[in-house]
Amino acid sequence: MARRFRPLPKASMLLRRSIVRWRELLGQTLLIALVWVLIRSVAVLAFGQDAFITELWFIIVLSVLVWFYGISTRKSVGLRQIFYDGSAGFVKLFLVMCVWVLYLVPFAVGVFFAQHFNLYQFSPSTGEIIAVSVAWLLLAAVSAYWIIRSFMAPILLNKFGPLQAIRASWDLTQGKTGWATRSVLLVGLVAVVPALVLSATLLLPFMGGEWTVFSVNMTISFLMVGYSLPLLVALGYEMEKHGKRTGKSTKTKK
């Protein structure tokens, strides 16, 4: 007799579950975001906006969020324990992020050639513009496909090493690329839009004031770590729960 499984949940359902998880952990999530902003502010003032140390601090905080959202208990966990235990996976997450940078190479190549074409090609024809744009979109689609297939790698680091986690994420999304794409795009859109709106409404009108721009940037950073990233991390855990499921198993019971 064929063994049936529950169908994969819709992207909208995963979004609702991710928001529920975020709301359950809201208080401590905002504390994590506050610590992120305070230390990032010091790092930016001391070393500059684009300093490598600020990027490392971002990965540390992401590893903390991944660890914290993976805890099964809902009991309150101290902030010191969150950062002490949660940052233990920093090196492995850093290596996963390095692989993601490699995944973005096709996109970067498309951007390079598109910019080079627009800057140095004199009066390009409509056909040439369309050809370059299509090539850029195809290269961007390759990078997006690789990122989506490996989207669950950070939350699998508690079970595997970096490369094994990436392979496991690819395995979990095998035959479910459309489902994974819809889920990541929907939750990603909901997660990022508030920060984009805040940037457009606060940052653009005050581009002239250095300290105003700095304050707005830190506010946006707080929103990203307090809302956007946690929502995506929660989605990763929700997708991992259902990654092994298929609509119908082909195995029969003897």
Instruction: Give tens-digit pLDDT for 149-190.
Output: 999 999 999 999 999 999 999 999 999 999 999 999 999 999
pTM of the entire predicted model: 0.86
Q: How many residues does the chain have?
A: 254
* Cα within 13 Å of Cα(243), Cβ side: 24
| Residue whose token pair is 């490699």 | 102
What are the E-state strand segments in the chain?
2-4, 248-252
pLDDT of the residue at 203: 64
Does position 201 have pLDDT exceeding 90, yes or no? no
Residue 113: count of CB within 10 angstroms of its CB: 14
Characterize the bridge pairing of strands 248-252 and 2-4: antiparallel
Q: Are 146 and 103 contacting, i.e. CB atoms less than 8 angstroms apart?
A: yes
pLDDT of the residue at 64: 96
pLDDT of the residue at 122: 62
Range name among 16-30, 106-120, 158-172, 229-243 with the lowest pLDDT average: 106-120
Query: What's the mean pLDDT when you consider all of the chain?
Result: 86
Minimal CA–CA distance to 36: which of 78, 65, 75, 66? 65
Classify 159 as helix, strand or coil.
coil
Q: Are 51 and 41 contacting, i.e. CB atoms less than 8 angstroms apart?
A: no
Minimal CA–CA distance to 167: which of 235, 243, 237? 243
Mean pLDDT of 131-150: 93
Residue 248 CA to residue 162 CA, distance in Å, equals 31
